[in-house]
Amino acid sequence: MPDAARLHLVTRDGCHLCEAAAATLAPIAEEAGLAVTPVDVDADADLQAEFGDRVPVVLLDGREHSYFTVDVPRLRRDLGLA
């Protein structure tokens, strides 16, 4: 599926906000026919330098879309669902 890499969620283990963001993203991604690709911020020094403790971060098409919480109305609009 070529669009599978459109939506990434930058997370870290044990992050309750990350778990909430993943639960929020799942139905939106499914509705859009996308998969959410999780990215562990602690597995990459560059990501850790860029995002640090500012997780979760939603990336759409490689660009930061929202952080800490999912901006649902904006994401739905940007995915053509609204």
Tokens representing 43?
């597995």
Cα torsion through 48, 42, 18, 38, rounded to 10: 100
Q: What is the pLDDT of residues 6-62, one digit of tens each?
A: 999 999 999 999 999 999 999 999 999 999 999 999 999 999 999 999 999 999 999
Mean pLDDT of 52-75: 95
Q: Is 64 helix (H, G, I), strand (E, B) or coil?
A: strand
Distance, in Å, from the CA atom of 57 to the CA atom of 60, rounded to the nearest integer, reads 10
Domain ranges of the chain: 2-69
Token match 């403790």: residue? 53
pLDDT at 5: 64
Class for domain 2-69, per CATH? Answer: alpha beta
